Amino acid sequence: MEKHLICIMCPMGCNLTVKEENGEISVTGNGCNRGVVFAKEELTCPKRIVTTSVKTKNGVKACKTTAPIPKNLMFDCVKEIEKLRLKDAKFGQIIIKNVLGTGADVIVTANE
């Protein structure tokens, strides 16, 4: 099996070719080792960092997951964040610990 992917680990966007033979995954076209990690994960369990906003008393504040979470949980993660109404939100503050059991926290990223 051969698959073509674009690496999303950095803005370089390397064109990756991933081959799977006898359970062995090989990656070519990567500019650095993060491309190999990305390609292997993309075939087994694709993950993404989720960035969205959380409601506060006066409006909304930007937030993100501290690590990539499984792609199929992105919408559920946004729903979890939508349930919150924060009184106050400081830069870097954890607003959900271990969101959906993924191991990633959700933190406030707004520049204030």
Partner 1 sequence: MVTDVVVIGGGPAGMSAALSASRTGAKVTLVERDEVLGGILNQCIHNGFGLHFFHEELTGPEFAYRFRKMVEGDKNIKVLTSTLVTKIEDKKVEFMGKNGVQEIAAKAVVLAMGCRERTAGNISLCGTRPAGIVTAGVAQKMVNIDGKMVGKDIVILGSGDIGLIMARRLTLEGAKVHAVFEINSTSSGLRRNIMQCLEDFDIPLFFNTTIFEVVGKDRVEGVFYGQVDENFRPIESTRKFLKCDTVVLSVGLVPEMYIAPNATICKTTGGAVVNEFYQTDKEWLFSCGNILHVHDLVDNVAIEAEQAGEFAGLFTLGKLPEHSKTLFVQAGEGVSYVLPYSLFEGQGKVTLKLRLKEKVVRKTLVAKCGANILGKKFILAGVPGEMMSFEIEKNGATDKIVVGIE
Please, which residues bridge with residue 63 across strands?
52, 108
User: What is d(CA 103, CA 74) in angstroms, rounded to the nearest whole number?
Assistant: 14
| Shortest distance in whole angstroms from residue 24 CB to partner 1 | 24
Is 91 a binding residue for partner 1 by CB under 8 A? The answer is: yes
Tokens of 59: 């409006």
User: What is d(CA 53, CA 104) in angstroms, rounded to the nearest whole number?
Assistant: 16
Is 101 a binding residue for partner 1 by CB under 8 A? The answer is: no
User: What is d(CA 67, CA 35) in angstroms, rounded to the nearest whole number?
Assistant: 17
Task: Decide whether 22 or 44 has the Cβ nearer to partner 1.
Answer: 44
| Shortest distance in whole angstroms from residue 5 CB to partner 1 | 8
Task: Decide whether 10 or 94 has the Cβ nearer to partner 1.
Answer: 10
List of E strands, 22-109: 24-28, 47-48, 51-56, 59-65, 69-70, 85-86, 94-96, 106-108
Kindly write out the interface string for residues 37-66 of this chain, putting x where it contacts partner 1 by CB under 8 A and - elsewhere.
-----------xxxxxx-x---xx-xxx--
Which positions lie near partner 1, rule CB under 8 A? 5-8, 10-11, 13, 15, 48-53, 55, 59-60, 62-64, 71, 74-75, 78, 91, 109-112
